[in-house]
Amino acid sequence: MSKRIIGWICWISVLCAALSIISLLALCIGPTAISVKKIFALLFEGRGTSEYSILFDIRLPRIILGFAIGGALSLAGVILQGMFRNPLVEPYTLGISGGAALGVCLNILFRLNRFIGPIGLPLSGFLGAVLIIVLIYSLSLKKGILRIQGLLLTGVMISFISASLIMLIMAISRIEDLHGIIFWIMGSLEEPNWTLIKIMVFVSIAGLFASYLYQRDLNAFMLGEEEALHLGINVERTKRILFVLASLLTGCSVSVAGIIGFVGLVVPHLVRMFVGRDHRILLVASYLVGGTFLIICDTMARTIIAPLELPVGVITGILGGTVFVYALTKRRIFLGEG
């Protein structure tokens, strides 16, 4: 076994251990502190108590959802940055989050939840994201060729249009609806519906396995499309599949938890600085770090000013921005040149 493979195994082991430790600490920390020893005791004889409810009805769902969404957004960031060969591309650059947010805002404005039920917000967000995915894809596809630069510019413009429409909706919304729109836009992992959590976990893990089918293609894309074509890669088919995969990961994440920024932008850069650019390790390492990072941010969001709770997007923005500036100072790594 080569030294590189051994090194990758060590990194994955360390990241899995870090994820486990952070998840356990997130279970313990909160307005009601619960020791690790107490957690194991509650597993066997605590059913029906308030502490059991806090652990397994409030904190555990958030940890699982944070892992799934953080992993999915980081994975989408790795895919898009590799596909575009642009370090500034992230899951929200293409306007998918704007479409999801617009769908949710329209739902809140017209109070469609009265007819759809509790899954109304995630469903409307997902439909909005899918609509934008189809629109961007259609506008960027010319004569069977998916134009990368056209895809990026179209996505940015649609993102601006969506943001303007959201501001318009906020301006004409009722005060009680305005609070719901703002809080959703800033992101939250407070999702009590286990069905949605299970769907998100499945989509996230399935996305990781699907991305591994194209890890060699992503490595070839780092050399440019022409070089990838000479290496035997079906460039156009791969671009379409990777775009749809990253878009679906982003759309599902945004529809369930709102707009949680910086995860898909910062985490891939941070991971590259330690494990390198090879997508065979970069994909899984980014997935694990993204899940761990979002669990940390959510734990901070619900404890910093407890019993009040901050939107998790505020914490990811502050921490992510700090890490981004640090990565920027490491310019050689940041630009993907090393």
Q: For residue range 44-89, what is the model confidence (pLDDT) as tens digits?
A: 776 778 888 888 888 999 999 999 999 999 999 999 999 888 877 8
Is pLDDT above 70 for 335? no
Q: Does the 15-334 domain belong in CATH 1.10.1200.10?
A: no
Tell me the whole-structure pTM to 2 decimals: 0.91
At residue 74, what is the residue type?
A: S
First to last CA, the chain: 24
Q: Are strands 145-146 and 141-142 parallel, antiparallel or unpaired?
A: antiparallel
pLDDT value of residue 70: 95
Please tell me the predicted confidence (pLDDT) of residue 101.
86
Tokens for 39?
């957690």
State yes or no: pLDDT of 331 exceeds 90: no
pLDDT in tens, 126-167: 898 899 988 888 888 887 778 887 888 888 899 899 889 998
> By C-alpha distance, which of 275, 292, 248, 212 is closest to 76?
248
Q: What pLDDT score does 15 carry? A: 96
Give how far Cα 199 sits from Cα of 91, 194, 255, 283, 297, Å.
19, 9, 12, 21, 22
Mean local confidence (pLDDT), 290-307 = 92
